[in-house]
């Protein structure tokens, strides 16, 4: 007697439904190629340089006015800052505390950072955000009274670095529905040798990996109404997916504004994101955050020699913002082959698109290159509950301890080429696409389970599609 496993039976009828046949994916009906999807950044898309330099190009439609600003901004991003006073007052003012000497140390080739792999390795490209139980005046995270909202493990000479962060890693095993085993690694973090008194007892730590710099201006140019239109915080359509906008403090406007940048959408604009990077990561004061990043208990920091006031002036600072707004998204390498289209269909069928919204049309932006572009970032820029497995348990404005912003998926297939690794998710724990999907939980559990239930061949198609983005 022939016994058919119920799973196989359902997979078979599913294939019949798709009007397909098993093997090599031939004759499976798939979604069509969509107009423009091969140019994820619209007219800004980099069609010239792929490979290792895929993330360093300016928008292809950059104006002659913005082009020199882009390249000057780029040099400020790449070059190391030095302690004050120095012979060059344009590049001094580093610290007193800092995480790295250059933006590019964490975002190498405008790409992605890596987490440390052993307890001895220094932290570069991964930083720890800190807070205590309460909220600040604007509903944002309240920093540790002695260490603030970010740990800086480095300092200029004669000043003690704040503390030493350490990673430890645990292995978790699982199996796909077809019995294939897999292994995930789960990091936890501790902070040792605090130099300015004990850390708060209720300290909350959020590890964050440095992301790639492509297409960020386009995300800023998406109309707020379009993002809010996708939000469904109370899941009124009952699809198990909520999607919540974050509202965060805008220092320039002095009001709460929609958050778009960072892993919890905790920055409203690129200008403020860049300013907080200069301030928090390099210790460079700037027009948005003009005061040194020192706390009351940190007397040596308060008394240290500083650079200019601020360390970077508006003119140069603005160029870095222009630069960060106009880094191009690379074009897709493959988009119309049978296997990529099968992968795309599986991506839609597994409901990945409920959060990774394929395309948007941008609205107006001060940089005209970014205006009215059809783009394919695969994000809704909203917060989603991703379950306990990914939780940092550190609220960030309206984002609770289990919520993360849907990250854009464009360009992710090129990270191994640009950065020689494929670490994904907010803390870089995933070692490639498969592990990133397997970590999805909470609102995304159904999608993850759909992936786990796919035959190996289909999992491969789906991953090949992600690689093509």
Give the single-character DSSP code of 414: G
Site string for ligand HEC, 369-408 (x = CB under 6 A): ---------------x-x---x-------------x-xx-
Report 141-180 residues binding ligand HEC (CB under 6 A).
none
Residue 209 in contact with ligand HEC, rule: CB under 6 A: yes
Both tokens of 312, joined, read: 């970077």
Query: Distance between CA atoms of 348 and 329, rounded to whole angstroms?
Result: 22
Neighbours of 16 (CB within 10 A): 10
Report 211-230 residues binding ligand HEC (CB under 6 A).
211, 216
- Which residue, among 325, 314, 284, has the nearest Cα to 70 in the 3D structure? 325
Nearest distance from residue 53's CB to ligand HEC, in Å? 19
Nearest distance from residue 415's CB to ligand HEC, in Å? 9
Residue 262 in contact with ligand HEC, rule: CB under 6 A: yes
- Closest to ligand HEC by CB, 373 or 406: 406
Report 81-120 residues binding ligand HEC (CB under 6 A).
99-100, 103, 105-107
Report 263-292 residues binding ligand HEC (CB under 6 A).
263, 266, 270, 273-274, 277-278, 281-282
> What letters, b where the CB count within 10 A reaches 16 and e where it falls short, cover 134-151?
eeeeeebbbbbebbbbbb
Query: Three-state DSSP class for 356?
Result: coil
- Closest to ligand HEC by CB, 103 or 130: 103
Query: Distance between CA atoms of 418 and 135, rounded to whole angstroms?
Result: 39
Neighbours of 49 (CB within 10 A): 13
When binding is defined by CB under 6 A, the residue of 69, 84, 205, 350 that contacts ligand HEC is: 350
Query: Distance between CA atoms of 161 and 464, rounded to whole angstroms?
Result: 44
Query: Distance between CA atoms of 94 and 97, rounded to whole angstroms?
Result: 8
Residue 261 in contact with ligand HEC, rule: CB under 6 A: yes
The 3-state DSSP composition of the chain as helix, strand, coil percent (nearest 5) reads: 30, 15, 55
Nearest distance from residue 271's CB to ligand HEC, in Å? 10
Q: Let me know: does 139 contact 156? Beta carbons within 8 Å.
A: no
Query: Distance between CA atoms of 258 and 224, rounded to whole angstroms?
Result: 8
- Closest to ligand HEC by CB, 242 or 298: 242
Residue 354 in contact with ligand HEC, rule: CB under 6 A: yes
Q: Let me know: does 274 contact 287? Beta carbons within 8 Å.
A: no
Residue 436 in contact with ligand HEC, rule: CB under 6 A: yes
- Closest to ligand HEC by CB, 76 or 196: 76
Contact residues toward ligand HEC (CB under 6 A) are 77, 99-100, 103, 105-107, 125, 127, 208-211, 216, 241, 261-263, 266, 270, 273-274, 277-278, 281-282, 320, 324, 347, 350-352, 354-356, 384, 386, 390, 404, 406-407, 409, 412, 424-426, 433, 436-437, 440, 443-444, 447, 451, 466
């Amino acid at each position: 007697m022939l016994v058919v496993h119920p799973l196989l039976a359902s997979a078979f009828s599913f294939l019949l439904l798709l009007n397909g046949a098993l093997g090599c994916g031939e004759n499976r009906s798939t979604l069509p190629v969509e107009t423009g999807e091969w140019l994820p950044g619209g007219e800004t898309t980099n069609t010239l340089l792929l490979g290792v330099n895929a993330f360093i190009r300016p928008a292809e439609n950059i104006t002659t006015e913005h082009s020199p600003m882009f390249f000057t901004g780029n040099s400020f991003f790449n070059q190391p800052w030095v302690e004050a006073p120095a012979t060059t007052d344009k590049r001094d003012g580093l610290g007193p505390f800092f995480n790295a000497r250059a933006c590019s140390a964490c975002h190498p080739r405008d790409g992605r950072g890596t987490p440390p792999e052993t307890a001895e390795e220094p932290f570069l490209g991964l930083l720890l955000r800190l807070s205590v139980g309460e909220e600040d005046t604007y509903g944002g995270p309240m920093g540790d009274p002695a260490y603030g909202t970010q740990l800086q493990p480095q300092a200029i000479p004669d000043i003690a670095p704040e503390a030493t962060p350490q990673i430890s890693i645990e292995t978790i095993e699982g199996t796909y529905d077809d019995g294939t085993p897999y292994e995930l690694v789960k990091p936890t973090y501790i902070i040792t040798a605090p130099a300015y008194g004990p850390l708060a007892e209720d300290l909350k730590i959020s590890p964050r990996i440095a992301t790639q710099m492509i297409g960020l201006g386009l995300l800023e140019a998406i109309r707020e109404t379009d993002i809010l239109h996708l939000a469904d915080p109370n899941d009124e359509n009952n699809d198990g997916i909520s999607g919540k906008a974050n509202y965060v403090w805008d220092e320039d406007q002095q009001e709460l504004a929609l958050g778009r940048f960072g892993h919890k959408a905790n920055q409203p604009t690129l200008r403020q994101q860049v300013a907080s990077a200069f301030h928090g990561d390099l210790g460079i004061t700037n027009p948005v955050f003009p005061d040194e990043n020192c706390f009351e208990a940190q007397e040596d920091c308060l008394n240290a020699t500083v650079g200019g006031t601020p360390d970077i002036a508006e003119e140069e600072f603005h160029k870095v913002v222009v630069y960060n707004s106009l880094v191009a998204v690379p074009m897709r390498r493959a988009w119309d082959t049978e296997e990529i289209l099968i992968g795309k269909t599986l991506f839609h069928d597994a409901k990945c698109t409920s959060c990774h919204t394929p395309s948007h049309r941008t609205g107006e932006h001060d940089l005209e290159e970014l205006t009215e572009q059809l783009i394919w970032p695969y994000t809704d820029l909203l917060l989603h509950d991703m379950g306990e497995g990914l939780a940092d348990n550190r609220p960030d404005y309206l984002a609770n301890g289990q919520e993360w912003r849907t990250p854009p998926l464009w360009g992710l297939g090129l990270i191994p080429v640009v950065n020689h690794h494929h670490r994904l998710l907010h803390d870089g724990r995933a070692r490639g696409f498969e592990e990133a999907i397997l970590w999805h939980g909470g609102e995304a559990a159904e999608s993850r389970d759909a992936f786990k239930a796919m035959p190996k061949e289909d999992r491969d198609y789906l991953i090949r599609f992600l690689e093509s983005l």
